[in-house]
Amino acid sequence: MPGKRTREILLLVLVSTAMCLVAGELVLRAYLSRHTFYDVEMSRYARLLKVDSENPKIGYVHRPNREEHLMNVDVRINSDGFRDDEYPLEKGARWRIIFLGDSLTFGWGVEKDQTFEALLERALQAKRPTEIINFGAGNYNTEQEVNLFLEKGLRYRPDQVVLFYFINDAEPTPRASRLEWLGNFRIATFYWSRVKALWARFDPSTGFEAYYRDLYRDGAPGWQHAQEALLQLRDAAREHGIALQVVLLPELHAPAERLFAPQYARVMEFLRANGIPALDLSPRFAGETDPMSLWVAPDDAHPNARAHRAIADSSYDFIAEASPS
């Protein structure tokens, strides 16, 4: 049994630490009213706009009819859970395309009218009246994207579906965390992410390069599920007479160095071998020697408005060729 003095010191340490955390939370909230931290914004996105899906292969979906200000831009979710305008299920005369993807397709950190989805929709009008429905959702992998399409996308009777593949699409589908409630505290998100960042600084094997490469190791379950999902999507598209295309989006940490060329080559090889038309945009970004000029923020390597413009320009011909004039 510890003595009275030891008990007093322990009590003091506990109470003062709790008070420090409360004070830190208040200071951080005050700071974040004028500034943004990527991790805090992603945590807010998850808590404010995502809700569990009944389908475990989808994991979560957007809450319908919600509006939030995230990563310095307004985000409005329509009644079917997409960051887009309202579209009737019944298809009109317009050529209808569905874009599948993750936070890059969602347009994280970019105004809606500056996303590559919106830019392509406007550009494609010159060829024929076209509407694009954006199914992009943050942190989705290919398995989730395909299952969302099978559950919701087919109801829209699209003429064309384009899956925007990113290097982390081979991640396993995330499971609900028992520590999710901690996301209510900015200070918890802040310390969690900063400690991870510090760890990665001293141990490169925990950084993005090693992490993304490891997703494609032989036998990696996420990559296996991604391949199965792509074949499932191909078969569903064939069955319903839908034109299917895949566009590989570049990883923007060092586009000129093409850090993940072998992994993207592996994905392209798989797609070609299975008769899925695909375009890798990475070579078109090889001249970008200032990566951060393409980022949403220094702590967020998502593509900004300039990068979205480049993605739209680079993929226009490929996407347009699937629709009749």
Partner 1 sequence: MIRDFLRKYRWLLVGILVVYVCVSLLLLYLTDSPQALPFQYQVR
The yes or no reply on residue 193 touching partner 1 (CB under 8 A) is yes
The whole-angstrom separation of Cα 287 and Cα 270 is: 26
203 binds partner 1 (CB under 8 A): no
Taking the least distance from each CB to partner 1, the nearer of 109 and 158 is 109
Contact positions with partner 1 (CB under 8 A) in 5-24:
8-9, 12-13, 16-17, 20, 24
Half-sphere exposure at residue 197, Cβ-oriented, CA atoms within 13 angstroms = 10
Which of 76, 155, 194, 240 contacts partner 1 by CB under 8 A? 194
Secondary structure (DSSP) of 33-69: TT---HHHHHHHHHHHHEEE-SSTTT-EEEPSSEEEE
How far CA 112 is from CA of 44, 75, 107, 167, 207, in Å, comes to 19, 8, 7, 23, 30
**Position 299 contacts partner 1 (CB under 8 A):** yes
Judged by CB under 8 A, how many residues of this single chain contact partner 1?
Answer: 52
- The yes or no reply on residue 180 touching partner 1 (CB under 8 A) is yes
Q: Which residues contact 99 (CB under 8 A, 6 or more apart)?
A: 105, 117, 132, 133, 134, 135, 136, 161, 162, 164
Closest to partner 1 by CB, 24 vs 277, is 24
Residues 6+ apart with CB under 8 A from 91: 156, 157, 158, 159
Least distance to partner 1, CB of residue 301, Å: 5
Min CB(308)–partner 1 separation in Å: 16
DSSP conformational letter for 249: P
Instruction: Determine, following the binding rule CB under 8 A, whether residue 254 of this chain makes contact with partner 1.
Output: no
257 touching partner 1, by CB under 8 A: no
Contact residues toward partner 1 (CB under 8 A) are 8-9, 12-13, 16-17, 20, 24, 38-39, 42-43, 45-46, 50, 52, 59-60, 102-103, 138-139, 168, 171, 174-177, 179-180, 191, 193-198, 200-201, 206-208, 211-212, 253, 292, 295, 298-302
